Amino acid sequence: MAYHHWAIGLFLLHIFYNNLCNCQSENYFDDSAPSPRSYTPDVGLLDFVYHNHDDMTRFLRTTSARYPNLTALYSIGKSIQGRDLWVIVVSSSPYEHMIGKPDVKYIANIHGNEAVGKELMLHLVQYFVTSYNTDPYIKWLLDNTRIHILPSLNPDGYAVSKEGTCDGGQGRYNARGFDLNRNFPDYFKQNTKREQPETDAVKEWISKIQFVLSGSLHGGALVASYPYDNTPNSMFQSYSSQPSLTPDDDVFKHLSLTYANNHAKMSRGVACKSATPSFENGITNGAAWYPLTGGMQDYNYVWYGCMEVTLEVSCCKFPPAHELRKYWEDNQLSLVKFLAEAHRGVQGFVMDTNGAPIERASLKIKGRDVGFQSTKYGEFWRILLPGIYKLEVFADGYAPREIDFMVIEQHPTLLNVTLQASKRNDGPYNNYRPVSAAQQHYRPQPEREQGFLSSISSGFNSLVSNIFG
């Protein structure tokens, strides 16, 4: 009986929703959806060779000059040796955030000697700008998404890396010898590593732009690896590499599978070498592979609600240039389809009774205890799989709300939330809105891990990280 009520309710909601929302005439997540068209890279414009920092800079400058309506070039800071950390935006609105539409990003070459991702990023840019007028899928993506691409977060490391070197650590670290993917604040353990300019630049960047979805490109394995990378367990237990799952595990698995399944071979899960692990369906939880402290993906997710997945795209960290075309062909579809996932789930605005946006409202999907916040325009996004959910919203000075909503496969659910101002001293919700508690969902304090345990465990981490990607 109860089941019947749900089913009828769902059915009615579905009809209601489809009648209400003719906001997107095309569907992008069902079988009738258009697919990206086949594309032949123009090697006259961008050859399959490695680009050093100057060559890369020249390519980015030329592209942004040639496609002023589709691209914008900016730098988020400089490496220790003074190289710009370039970001190129590709979108039909490159200079301005499109209100209500998601910003997404790719970051490559955080490990300087993992070079394939960096070249994939340049080809992705080239693919986007040359396909906009001919491929309806790419046009839809760029009309509805701002895509920020940072091809090299570690240009100093890249400069001392060697083509043809598949393993090892030379060029992995920044110019002061820090592993940038161990240099972020950590959810589970105190990170005692000194902050580096490259990671500071990323922290500043993602504090200013609310990214919804992100991919971090690495090499040394072939797998999509999702949060958490770290684990609350002690380091002794972590030798056995237990999974450390987020409350959004279903979403992270789906995002990882989207990458792996659209890749030419990742989903086969074949081990790179006999001594390295194989990954079922080409995906893994980060900590289940090997736990690490200070990784970028956990930071994106816990601090900013940005769903980031680590994409390990090549068994060889720095393969010979003549293999680059093959890597591009293997990854092209994955790189596009992954970003389109930013359009799955729920999105909307939080506003007051006058329709004015409420910034920094704290939002949570009930049962998923990692929250996110509204932007200065009151916008929010959350990637969710089809289902029924409850959104919890609270903002200082307003009565909190809980709203039921449904997510369907074909297009995102649009959900506007209006909050009533709460009375100052006698409101019923006074106990219910401690600001610090709301903030804690969003920016949890790290658990302390001190003394010799932490030094042993970081030694273990760097040992493992030299073996893996």
Let me know: does 116 contact 218? Beta carbons within 8 Å. no
Other beta carbons within 10 Å of 392: 18
Other beta carbons within 10 Å of 420: 13
Beta strand segments in 91-210, E: 103-108, 146-150
- 18 versus 466: smaller Cβ distance to Zn ion: 466
In this chain, which of 50, 106, 127, 349 binds ligand NAG, going by CB under 6 A?
349
Closest by CA position to 101, among listed 33, 201, 23? 23
Tell me how far apart the alpha carbons of residues 437 and 428 are, in angstroms, rounded to a whole number. 17
Q: Of residues 114, 308, 312, 379, which has the active-site annotation?
A: 312
Other beta carbons within 10 Å of 31: 5
Q: Which of Zn ion, ligand NAG, none interacts with 349 (beta carbon under 5 to 8 A by kind)?
A: ligand NAG
Peptide bond into 17 cis (omega under 30): no
Number of residues that bind Zn ion (CB under 5 A): 4
The values of phi and psi at residue 304, to 5°, are -125, 5
CB of 210 to ligand NAG, least distance (A): 16
Q: Which amino acid is located at 199 in the chain?
A: T
Regarding 282 and contact with Zn ion (CB under 5 A), the answer is no
Closest-by-Cβ residue to Zn ion is 218
Site for ligand NAG in 353-392 (CB under 6 A): 355
Q: Which of ligand NAG, Zn ion, none interacts with 469 (beta carbon under 5 to 8 A by kind)?
A: Zn ion
Write the CA distances from 223 to 116, 168, 179, 187, 271, integer angstroms. Answer: 14, 19, 20, 23, 10
The values of phi and psi at residue 141, to 5°, are -60, -45
- 357 versus 444: smaller Cβ distance to ligand NAG: 357
Site for ligand NAG in 426-445 (CB under 6 A): none
Regarding 420 and contact with ligand NAG (CB under 6 A), the answer is no
Site for Zn ion in 103-142 (CB under 5 A): 111, 114
Regarding 182 and contact with Zn ion (CB under 5 A), the answer is no
Tell me how far apart the alpha carbons of residues 405 and 397 are, in angstroms, rounded to a whole number. 24
Active-site annotation holds for 329: no
Give the x/- contact pattern for ligand NAG in 68-87, rule: CB under 6 A.
xx------------------
CB of 469 to Zn ion, least distance (A): 4
- 335 versus 419: smaller Cβ distance to Zn ion: 335
Rg (the chain; Cα; Å): 22
User: How long is the chain?
Assistant: 469
Regarding 171 and contact with Zn ion (CB under 5 A), the answer is no
In this chain, which of 62, 81, 416, 450 binds ligand NAG, going by CB under 6 A?
416
Instruction: Report the SS3 class of residue 200.
Output: helix
Q: Which of ligand NAG, Zn ion, none interacts with 81 (beta carbon under 5 to 8 A by kind)?
A: none
Token pair, residue 114, equals 């993992």
Token pair, residue 50, equals 């490695």
In this chain, which of 83, 123, 203, 218 binds Zn ion, going by CB under 5 A?
218
Regarding 128 and contact with ligand NAG (CB under 6 A), the answer is no
Q: Kindly list the residues in this chain that would bind ligand NAG in the complex (CB under 6 A).
A: 68-69, 349, 355, 414, 416
- Where in the sequence numbering do the catalytic residues fall? 312
Q: Kindly list the residues in this chain that would bind Zn ion in the complex (CB under 5 A).
A: 111, 114, 218, 469
